[in-house]
């Protein structure tokens, strides 16, 4: 890893660190010699992940229970991290909820999901960006999106809208950083493919969280903003085809989500980039 923000001894803060991509990122960062702050709701999973990451670390690791949707909790986290670590060089806003599904889901589930998936990202940036990039020190912000926030497949509209908002927010953040600074801090949108997360059984075709983290680091090193991960079933070329078709719904005045519209099924299947 050549990006200077990942120099040994620097500080990485990862939300949603108890399981999945967050735990894999914390473990990878610790093995790289970074000091790591693991953030998640209090749970046995967070405790177990902390033990695993600590045992692999060459430097300091802390696990701090916090709800990313709660601004006061995040402000408290910021103050605690400032006292303990002195600041943050890498901020990975990874915490996410998949509560609720369709339009008949309880509105409380919709609200909770948006509070975690979108407001959790906003709170993370609001609390930690002001302390990053001092004196031109390199910094990295990674916000974890989803392909569902780009192609918007039917089935889970509240999750899709939250991740679409994270994409829009992070695009604007990247522009703001390069325009008004601190220019030494860069923002990146990580878009995993099919990944085995949580406590789900690993299935052929899915990527492991460790593969996503390795792909993320390569993308950051290359200076990529959009880090769109393939998986064992969907190639980079297929991702491009799906994304371009979705954009064509607007430019070609097709029905919304025409990829799943019976009248456009054949056209999509023969569409070539």
Catalytic sites, residue numbers: 159
Q: How far apart are CA 224 and CA 211, in angstroms?
A: 17
CA angle 77, 80, 85 (to 5 degrees): 115
Beta sheet of 185-191, edge-to-edge order: 61-65, 35-40, 11-15, 90-93, 139-144, 185-191, 226-228
Query: In 3D, which of 192, 220, 191 has the Cα closest to residue 206?
Result: 192
Q: How far apart are CA 99 and CA 247, in angstroms?
A: 27
Look up residue 201 and give its DSSP letter: P
**Is residue 118 within 8 Å of 69, Cβ to Cβ?**
no
The two three-digit tokens of residue 32, written as one number: 């790289």
* 224 membership: H or E segment, kind and range: none
Spell out where the chain has E strands. Answer: 11-15, 35-40, 61-65, 90-93, 139-144, 185-191, 226-228
The two three-digit tokens of residue 171, written as one number: 């695009």
Paired residues of 36 in beta bridges:
12, 61
Paired residues of 64 in beta bridges:
39
- CA 130, 132, 135, 140 dihedral sign is negative
């Amino acid at each position: 890893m050549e990006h200077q923000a990942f120099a040994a001894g620097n500080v990485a803060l990862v939300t949603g660190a108890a399981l999945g991509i967050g735990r894999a990122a914390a473990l990878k960062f610790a093995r790289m010699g970074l000091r790591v702050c693991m953030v998640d709701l209090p749970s046995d999973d967070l405790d177990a992940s902390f033990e695993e990451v600590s045992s692999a670390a060459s430097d300091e690791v802390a696990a701090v229970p916090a709800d990313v949707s709660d601004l006061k909790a995040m402000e408290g986290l910021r103050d605690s991290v400032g006292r303990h670590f002195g600041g943050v060089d890498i901020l990975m806003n990874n915490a996410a909820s998949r509560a609720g599904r369709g339009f008949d889901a309880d509105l409380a589930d919709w609200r909770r999901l948006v509070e975690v998936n979108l407001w959790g990202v906003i709170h993370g940036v609001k609390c930690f960006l002001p302390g990053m990039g001092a004196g031109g020190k390199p910094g990295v912000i990674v916000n974890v999106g989803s392909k569902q926030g780009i192609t918007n497949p039917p089935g889970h509209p509240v999750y899709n809208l939250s991740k679409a908002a994270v994409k829009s927010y992070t695009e604007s953040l990247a522009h703001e950083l390069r325009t008004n600074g601190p220019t030494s801090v860069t923002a990146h949108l990580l878009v995993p493919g099919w990944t085995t997360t949580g406590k789900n059984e690993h299935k052929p075709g899915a990527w492991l969280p460790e593969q996503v983290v390795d792909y993320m680091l390569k993308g950051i090193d290359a200076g990529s903003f959009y880090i769109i991960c393939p998986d064992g079933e969907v190639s980079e070329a297929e991702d491009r085809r799906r994304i371009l078709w979705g954009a064509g719904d607007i430019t070609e005045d097709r029905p919304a989500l025409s990829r799943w519209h019976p009248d456009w099924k054949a056209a999509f299947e023969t569409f070539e980039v």
